[in-house]
Amino acid sequence: MTVLIEHQPVMLEEALTGLALKPNGIYIDGTFGRGGHSCAILAKLQQGRLIAVDKDPAAISSGQKLMETDTRFSIQNGSFANLKTLVRQINCQGMVDGILLDLGVSSPQLDEAERGFSFKKDGPLDMRMDPTSGQSAAAWLAVADDQEIAGVLKEYGEERFAKRIARAIINARQEAPIDTTKRLAAIVAAANPKWEPGRDPATRSFQAIRIFINQELDDLQRCLDDVLEILAPGGRLVVISFHSLEDRIVKRFIREESRGDPYPPDLPIPYVQLHVRMKTIGKAIKSSKAEIEANPRARSAVLRIAEKLP
């Protein structure tokens, strides 16, 4: 089997353990990327099946090669926000033994200048995981008003200087369109009075615009809303987040489903009537020191696991 190492999978062993793989189970990898996790899952399956999804056509091309060599594997282009539809199409509602989400962007997306994700490389300011649909970052920055831009920078990038940067973007675009990554990075750097040590001043703004353009948090919430319909009893959900906002959404979802319906704490409600739907498995897991040294992308990763109750 080919393991495609263009992207070093983060917390691979922890994710496999979290999925509690059954050799003949049905699994979903909602973020195929370059198949690091998928290949490792397939290596542990016997007659099982793995269905993968990715928004990025480049990830799909890479997955199609794997599909040619392994009949247990299939891949579809699309968002994990629509997993429920995919699972209904293949008549597997309530039958999936595990879902893995390894959120965010892949190394090839960051490394290829023409994808427009990186402030370190000059390229067209695109940032779409699926470049065939939706609005590019350049198209959005050409029309958004300063309040909207500042709101995105503040909400998704926790950028202290969101308003200044938004104003600088509006001023700069009156001179010429902001259509390259280097130009946006330079505008942000010039408007950012306090650079954080060891961090490029454009880091927060690029992250915020990418999350907004790809509707990353909405997609995550939509996927979680459907998880219970997709998973089999005892099925596992494993999510690796790289951003505190993503992790907050996952943590809240698991906490609420593990607690059941909200009642005032002093009401004597029997446990069965609380409709507890999931069980939290262990605590949040962070990458080991050794992994972070070998793969700095793992630095901000947090892995959470939950299991659907019977």
Ligand X SMILES: C[S@@+](CC[C@H](N)C(=O)[O-])C[C@H]1O[C@@H](n2cnc3c(N)ncnc32)[C@H](O)[C@@H]1O
Does the footprint of ligand X cover residue 159 (CB under 6 A)? no
Does the footprint of ligand X cover residue 205 (CB under 6 A)? no
Residue in this structure with the two tokens 């809303």, named with its chain if needed: 225
Cβ atoms of residues 93 and 230 within 8 Å: yes
Report the residue number, 210 or 308, with the smaller CB distance to ligand X: 210
Angle subtended by helix axes 216-230 and 244-259, to nearest 10: 30
Angstrom distance (rounded) from CA 203 to CA 267: 48
Q: Return phi, psi of residue 78, to 5°.
A: 160, 180
Does the footprint of ligand X cover residue 53 (CB under 6 A)? yes
CA 80 to mean position of chain CA atoms: 9
Cβ atoms of residues 67 and 54 within 8 Å: no
Other beta carbons within 10 angstroms of residue 232's beta carbon come to: 18
Report the residue number, 259 or 286, with the smaller CB distance to ligand X: 286
- Considering only residues 69 to 128 of the shown chain, the ones binding ligand X according to CB under 6 A are 79-81, 102, 104-106
Does the footprint of ligand X cover residue 37 (CB under 6 A)? yes
> Which of these ranges, 52-60, 133-141, 159-167, 271-279, lies near ligand X under the rule CB under 6 A?
52-60
Report the residue number, 128 or 154, with the smaller CB distance to ligand X: 128
> Which of these ranges, 51-59, 132-140, 202-210, 253-261, lies near ligand X under the rule CB under 6 A?
51-59
Does the footprint of ligand X cover residue 219 (CB under 6 A)? yes
Does the footprint of ligand X cover residue 287 (CB under 6 A)? no
> Which of these ranges, 25-33, 66-74, 264-272, 284-292, lies near ligand X under the rule CB under 6 A?
25-33
Angstrom distance (rounded) from CA 84 to CA 225: 10
Angstrom distance (rounded) from CA 202 to CA 297: 17
Nearest distance, CB of residue 74 and ligand X, angstroms: 15
Those residues whose C-beta lies under 8 Å from the C-beta of residue 239, and which sit 6 or more positions away, are 100, 101, 103, 246, 250, 303, 304
> Which of these ranges, 27-35, 153-161, 184-192, 248-256, lies near ligand X under the rule CB under 6 A?
27-35
**What residues make contact with ligand X under the rule CB under 6 A?**
7, 9, 30-31, 33-37, 53-56, 59, 79-81, 102, 104-106, 129, 219
